[in-house]
């Protein structure tokens, strides 16, 4: 867009926002801009996705309603955890956050860390129980393999005996 077009767009959007009783259709006829463009410009200006000029807003100061990634939340938690109430409030104002929101992130991070941690004693006990269970299963497997080998040997001997002496019928 040219500089003139950007300035015109800004003035039209400013006029739409300043006088909400002005109909989009009337403004479209007056300015010669399509109504669909005006609806789109107004929606973007209200949502705050973009500035009136169409340039993306800087992401450093996101509004509180903006969805943040887990990495961004962790960074905020790390930066703010050691701050007192006044410093936290100042930080939140500078970054477009609410102190309650940041405190919820603290609690969530602490809960996630505590839930994932297992005391060493419990971990060792669980490991010992698993090792014991594996030993029992290996012992049972060896016993079953021996029984299977013995059955296979008996079956082979029976076939050989039948081949040599013939089948005997039990009467």
**35-57 mean pLDDT:** 68
Provide the b/e sequence for 46-85 (b: ≥16 CB within 10 Å): eeeeeebeeeeeeeeeeeeeeeeeeeebeebbeebeeeee
Tell me the percentage of the chain whose pLDDT exceeds 70.
83
pLDDT at 28 over 90: no
pLDDT in tens, 145-161: 999 999 999 999 999 99
- What region, left, alpha or beta, does residue 164 occupy, with left being phi > 0 and alpha being psi -120 to 50 degrees? alpha
Provide the b/e sequence for 88-115 (b: ≥16 CB within 10 Å): beebbeeeebebeebeebeeebeeeeee
Residue 20, phi then psi, degrees to nearest 5: -70, -20
Is residue 118 very low, low, confident or very high in pLDDT (cuts 50, 70, 90)? low
pLDDT at 124 over 80: yes
CB 99 within 8 A of CB 89: yes
pLDDT in tens, 54-107: 444 444 444 455 678 888 888 898 899 889 999 999 998 888 888 998 999 888
Residues 154 and 147: their CA atoms lie apart, in Å, by 11
Residues 17 and 48: their CA atoms lie apart, in Å, by 12
């Amino acid at each position: 867009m040219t500089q003139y077009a950007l300035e015109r767009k800004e003035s039209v959007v400013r006029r739409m926002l300043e006088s909400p009783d002005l109909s989009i259709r009337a403004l479209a006829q007056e300015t010669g801009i399509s109504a669909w463009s005006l609806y789109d410009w107004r929606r973007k200006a209200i949502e705050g996705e973009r500035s009136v000029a169409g340039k993306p807003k800087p992401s450093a100061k996101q509004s509180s309603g903006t969805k943040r990634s887990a990495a961004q939340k962790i960074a905020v938690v790390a930066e703010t955890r050691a701050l007192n109430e006044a410093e936290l409030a100042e930080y939140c104002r500078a970054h477009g956050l609410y102190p309650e929101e940041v405190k919820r992130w603290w609690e969530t991070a602490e809960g996630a860390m505590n839930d994932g941690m297992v005391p060493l004693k419990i971990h060792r006990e669980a490991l010992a129980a698993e090792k014991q269970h594996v030993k029992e299963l290996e012992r049972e497997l060896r016993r079953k393999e021996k029984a299977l080998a013995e059955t296979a040997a008996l079956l082979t001997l029976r076939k050989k005996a039948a081949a040599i002496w013939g089948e005997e019928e039990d009467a």
